[in-house]
């Protein structure tokens, strides 16, 4: 018995929702780093919470089928790609290359 296309489409959409939760939570955590007293604790707690919830949701969505996990992971990675393109990455330092060499990077 194979999976129907709409089951895989639902898994893809739900995987995108997990990606939105996971990477949106990461973005929110990073934006708040300057506002908290111990940012390292917030980052570690956020990482473990986001990861545990995401893995639990992937497990629930999969229903023991590798095809559903693959579809959900595809949705997750699509959202990651879209968020990186939309939000962007941190711009490079405005320091000159000679200053970078002094600091060793």
pTM passes above 0.85: no
C-alpha to C-alpha distance for 19 and 35, rounded to whole angstroms: 25
The whole-number average pLDDT for the span 37-52 is 94
- DSSP 8-state code for residue 32: T
Q: Are the CB atoms for 20 and 86 separated by under 8 Å? A: no
Q: Are the CB atoms for 19 and 78 separated by under 8 Å? A: yes
pLDDT at position 88, please?
Answer: 76
Domain-wise residue ranges, the chain: 5-90
pLDDT at position 36, please?
Answer: 87
Res. 104: pLDDT tops 90: no
The share of the chain scoring above pLDDT 90, in percent, equals 65
Res. 81: pLDDT tops 90: yes
Least confident residue range of 20-24, 42-46, 53-57, 85-89: 85-89
End-to-end CA distance of the chain: 55
pLDDT at position 87, please?
Answer: 85
Radius of gyration of the chain, Cα coordinates, nearest whole angstrom: 18
């Amino acid at each position: 018995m194979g999976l129907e296309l709409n089951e895989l489409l639902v898994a893809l959409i739900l995987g995108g929702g997990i990606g939105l939760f996971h990477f949106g939570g990461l973005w929110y955590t990073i934006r708040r780093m300057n506002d908290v007293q111990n940012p390292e604790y917030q980052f570690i707690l956020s990482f473990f919470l986001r990861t545990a919830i995401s893995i639990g949701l992937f497990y629930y969505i999969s229903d023991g089928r590798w095809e559903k996990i693959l579809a959900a992971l595809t949705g997750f990675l699509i959202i990651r790609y879209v968020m990186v393109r939309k939000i962007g990455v941190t711009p490079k330092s405005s320091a000159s290359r000679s200053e970078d060499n002094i600091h060793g990077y």
